[in-house]
A and B are shown apart, each in its own frame.
Chain A
Amino acid sequence: MTRTDTLADLLDAAGLAGRGGAAFSTATKVRAAHAHGADLIVNACDGEIGAAKDGWVVEHHLPELVHGATLLAAGRRRGILFAAHRNSRTAGILRAAGLDVLEAPSRYVSSEESALVSLAHGRLARPMTKRVPVATGGRDSRGARIRPTLVLNAETVWRVAQIAERGPDWFRALGTPAEPGPRLVAVSGFVAAPQVLETQAGVPVRALLEAAGGLPPGSPAVLVGGLGGAFLSPDEAGRLHWSRESLGTVGAAVGPGVLVVLDPWTCPAEAVSQMLTYAAGESAGQCGPCMFGLPAVAREWDELVLRPSRAAEERVRRRLELLPDRGACRFPDGVARFTGSALRVFGSHLAVHAAGACGYTSRRSDPRVVVG
């Protein structure tokens, strides 16, 4: 069944990819959604550690965001839902504007696509196993039917409105041929001026950091993409570019557009330990690699920090191999990537740390403070 879908064709011409992290073709998703008469959820949760851009879109470009959502809903009369964390500033702005707000609990996995769909169905905000894309419907694990639901990141929806207004050529004039268009990056953590930057793919990571005040001397690393991302050493942050190709050389990705600068005093091994403890507590308790795997990784990482050895490192590595491709969502995959990059970037520090010559003055601090 081929129907002409003008909006999807336009997005195809622009080459828009989702800004929520997976960078999947928005046109493909929209086409499937329209063919199935899908509902629309605009995801403005900013669920990743350090994420802020979707709240920024809501705060500064709400009329365009709503216009984009209206275009995507294609005249369907059912209400469009705007998802935001409960009691967040973003939820308040959306509500004040008279929009239907889907209030998600402030849990890491609750802002995942299928978790929001589950919540919109009156169930728990926990990820569902996706046998078919949620834009086409399908069934949950108990066999109950799921309404086809298009879930798009708020920045993505804003871009749709911009492309509709200014055309695909304007869009393609920015960024790189592989990753066209303007894009947002939230820079936070230990920088002089944390902010959401309007930028594009291909710019040096250093330029993004400098726009927020620069990488402070002594900062052990920059975290790209939060718990589902990877660390960059200061050297890598100085030479890599904000693109899939460049970041991919060290296992990082553009992801949901998040840069967090680690502070110069907190031991990075301890910072990772705190983030892994947080990750372990965020499991929805549905899938083995998550509910058992993440606490195991956190435990084994602590063990490695306390008593580093080839065997302890090997244990962590072997554990990480067990996490990917087995959960209802990609949370375990992300944490495996994150921990693997921590091993890569902080591996040499672990030996120093164990010898008692850590050098960082602060061992423990609140993870929210550490990571911004």
Chain B
Amino acid sequence: MNEALWYASRAAGIASVVLLTAVVVLGTVVAGRRRPHDDTATVAMATHRWLSLATLAFIGAHVATAVGETYVSIDLISVLVPFTSSYATFWVGLGTVAVDLLVAVAVTSLLRHRIAERAWRAVHWATYALWGFAVVHGFALGTATEPLLRWTTVLCGVVGLGAVAWRANVTTHDRERRRILAHQEWS
């Protein structure tokens, strides 16, 4: 039983990283004024939302099984309070921080129509950080000797960074015009 939990935790963890990366990549696509405005927009946005719910489920499973199995000791407190685990304090702690941030992102997203757009947006930016923590956490604690798993995490990191770089550099009509006008003589 314990062995099953251990494997389940590993599997849910790697699935979480893959799903989370997919959600982040979709997020960079639908974010800001550059988002597509036709049917693709609806599909991309819906996929981003539903996939993020699936991610929550897998992360939930990953955390529950990690606490449940007893090969290494991670207690309930370490689920929410970072850097309290006796096992791999720092690397588990990174995962905990990611979970905390994820809870904030998920809650604000569920309450999106009830809170200020600005507040939702500010919290949503934390996704980039939590994704980074999650990938590092996954890479550091990926104990399997199977190279496929390790390379999956690395690939997720590369793809995610690529998406972030794209979002940071891609220009929009709006941004471009503001930039050009701001560079003219105004003082």
- Footprint of B on A, CB under 8 Å? 105, 107, 110, 119, 123-126, 283-285, 291-292
Supply 5 A–B pairs (Cβ within 8 Å), ascending by A. Answer: A124-B186, A124-B187, A126-B186, A285-B178, A291-B177
Question: Contact at B186–A284, with CB atoms within 8 Å?
Answer: yes
Contacts of A292 in B (CB 8 A): 177
Whether A285 and B185, one on each chain, are in contact in the complex, defined by CB atoms closer than 8 angstroms, is no
**Which chain A residues lie closer than 8 Å to B182 at the CB level?**
285
20 more contacts with CB within 8 A, not counting A284-B186, A285-B182, are A105-B186, A105-B187, A107-B184, A107-B185, A107-B186, A110-B186, A119-B187, A123-B187, A124-B186, A124-B187, A125-B186, A125-B187, A126-B186, A284-B181, A285-B178, A285-B180, A291-B177, A291-B178, A291-B181, A292-B177
Report the bound CA distance from A285 to B181 in whole Å: 6
Assembled-state Cα–Cα distance A245/B180 (Å): 41
Bound CA–CA A15/B181 (angstroms): 40
| Complex Cα spacing A105 to B182, Å | 13
User: How long is the Cα–Cα vector from A283 to B177 in the complex, in angstroms?
Assistant: 10
A126–B177 alpha-carbon span in the complex (Å): 15
Judged by DSSP, the binding face of B is: helix
CA distance A105 to B181 in the complex (A): 14
By beta carbon, the residue of chain A nearest B187 is A124
Tally of contact residues, B, Cβ under 8 A: 9
| Chain B residue contacts of A284, Cβ below 8 A | 181, 186
For residue A335, give the distance in angstroms from its CB to the closest CB of chain B: 16
In the complex, A123→B185 CA distance in Å? Answer: 12
Report the Cα distance A283→B178, complex, angstroms. Answer: 10
In the bound complex, how far is the Cα of B177 from the Cα of A284, in angstroms? 10
CA distance A105 to B178 in the complex (A): 18
B187 to chain A, nearest CB (A): 5
A-chain residues with CB within 8 Å of residue B180 when the two chains form the complex:
285
Q: In the complex, are the beta carbons of B185 and A105 less than 8 A apart? A: yes
Q: How far is the CB of B33 from chain A (nearest CB, A)?
A: 12
Across-interface contacts of A110 in B (CB, < 8 A):
186
Minimum C-beta distance from B108 to chain A (A): 24
The 7 closest A-B pairs by CB, nearest first: A285-B181, A124-B186, A105-B185, A285-B178, A124-B187, A125-B186, A291-B177
Tell me which residues from 154 to 187 in chain B have a Cβ below 8 Å from any Cβ of chain A.
177-178, 180-182, 184-187
Complex-state Cα separation, A89 to B89, whole angstroms: 72
Q: Which residues in A have their C-beta under 8 angstroms from that of B177?
A: 285, 291-292
**A345: shortest Cβ distance to chain B, in Å?**
31
Chain A nearest CB, measured from B180 CB (Å): 8
Q: What's the nearest-Cβ distance from chain A to residue B2, in Å? A: 58
- CB-CB under 8 A from A123, the residues of chain B are 187
Cβ-closest chain A residue relative to B180: A285
Q: Report the separation of the CA atoms of residues A107 and B184 in the bound assembly, to the nearest whole angstrom.
A: 10
CA distance A292 to B181 in the complex (A): 12
**Which of chain A's residues has its CB closest to B179's CB?**
A285
Nearest Cβ on chain B to A293's Cβ, whole angstroms: 12
Within the complex, what minimum Cβ distance (angstroms) separates A93 from chain B?
Answer: 22
Q: How far is the CB of A36 from chain B (nearest CB, A)?
A: 25
| Chain B nearest Cβ from A121, distance in angstroms | 11
How many Å lie between the Cα of A125 and that of B185 in the bound state?
A: 9
How far apart are B32's CB and chain A's nearest CB, in angstroms? 16
Q: Which residue of B is nearest A124, CB measured? A: B186
CB proximity of B176 to chain A, nearest CB, Å: 10
Residue among B177, B180, B184 having the largest count of chain A Cβ atoms under 10 Å? B184
A289 to chain B, nearest CB (A): 13
- Tell me the nearest residue of chain A to B183, going by C-beta: A285
A285 CB to nearest B CB, Å: 3
Q: Could you tell me if B187 and A283 are in contact, using CB atoms closer than 8 angstroms?
A: no
Complex Cα gap A126–B180 (Å)? 15
User: Which residue of chain B lies nearest to A283 when distances are taken between CB atoms in the complex?
Assistant: B181
**Whole-angstrom distance between the alpha carbons of A292 and B174 in the complex?**
9
Q: In chain B, what residue has the closest Cβ to A292?
A: B177
Q: B181 to chain A: which residues have CB within 8 Å?
A: 283-285, 291
Complex Cα distance A284/B178, Å?
A: 8
Task: Provide the residues of chain A in CB contact with B185, threshold 8 Å.
Answer: 105, 107
What is the minimal beta-carbon distance from A212 to any residue of chain B, in angstroms?
A: 33
Distance A160 CA – B140 CA, assembled complex (angstroms): 77
Complex alpha-carbon distance, A126 and B186, angstroms? 7
CB distance from A246 to the nearest CB of B (A): 38
- Residues B12-40 near A (CB distance < 8 A): none
In the assembled complex, the Cα of A291 lies from the Cα of B185 at a distance in Å of: 16
- Of listed B180, B184, B186, residue having the most chain A CB within 10 A: B186
Chain B residues, CB < 8 A from A124: 186-187
Chain B residues in 8 Å Cβ range of A285: 177-178, 180-182
A contact residues around B187 at 8 Å (CB): 105, 119, 123-125
**Nearest CB of chain A from residue B174's CB, rounded to whole Å:** 8
Residues in B with CB closer than 8 Å to A283 are 181
